[in-house]
Amino acid sequence: MAAPREAPERRPFGRRFLTDPARLFQHNAWDNVEWSEEQEASARSKVQENSSQLLPQDKQEEYEVNAKRYWDDFYKIHENGFFKDRHWLFTEFPELAPNRNPSQNGDSAHEFSNKEESNNEGLGSCENGHCSLETRAEDQLNVIKSTPRICTEELAAQKYSELNQSDGDYPGSSASYRILEVGCGAGNTVFPILQTNNDPGLFVYCCDFSTTAVDLVQNNAEYDSSRCFAFVHDLCNDQSPFPMPDESLDVVILIFVLSAILPEKMQCIVNRLSRLLKPGGMILLRDYGRYDLAQLRFKKGQCLSDNFYVRGDGTRVYFFTQDELNDLFTTAGLEKIQNLVDRRLQVNRGKQMTMYRVWIQCKYRKPPAPQL
Rounded to the nearest 10 degrees, what angle do helices 266-276 and 322-331 cross at? Answer: 50
Residue 257 included in any domain: yes
What gap in Å lies between CA 278 and CA 252, rounded to an integer? 10
Encode pLDDT of 250-299 as tens digits. 999 999 999 999 999 999 999 999 999 999 999 999 999 999 999 999 99
CATH classification at residue 357: 3.40.50.150
Query: What pTM did the predictor assign?
Result: 0.76
Domain count, the chain: 1
Chain-centre distance for alpha carbon 59: 26
Q: Is 157 helix (H, G, I), strand (E, B) or coil?
A: helix
Top pLDDT among 349 and 109 is at: 349
Range of the domain at 361: 22-97+173-366
Cα dihedral 240/243/246/251 (nearest 10): -110
What gap in Å lies between CA 226 and CA 97, rounded to an integer? 18
Residue 141 included in any domain: no
Residue 253 included in any domain: yes
Residue 308 included in any domain: yes
| Cα separations in angstroms, 1 against 32, 141, 220 | 31, 52, 55
Residue 120 included in any domain: no
List the strands of the sheet with 29-30, edge to edge: 29-30, 335-348, 353-365, 277-288, 249-255, 177-182, 202-208, 228-232
Residue 44 included in any domain: yes
Residue 326 included in any domain: yes
Residue 274 included in any domain: yes
Encode pLDDT of 8-61 as tens digits. 444 433 334 344 444 443 445 566 777 888 888 999 999 999 999 898 887 877
Q: For the purposes of burial, counting CB atoms within 10 Å of the CB of 58, is it exposed (0-12), middle (13-18) or buried (19 or more)? A: exposed
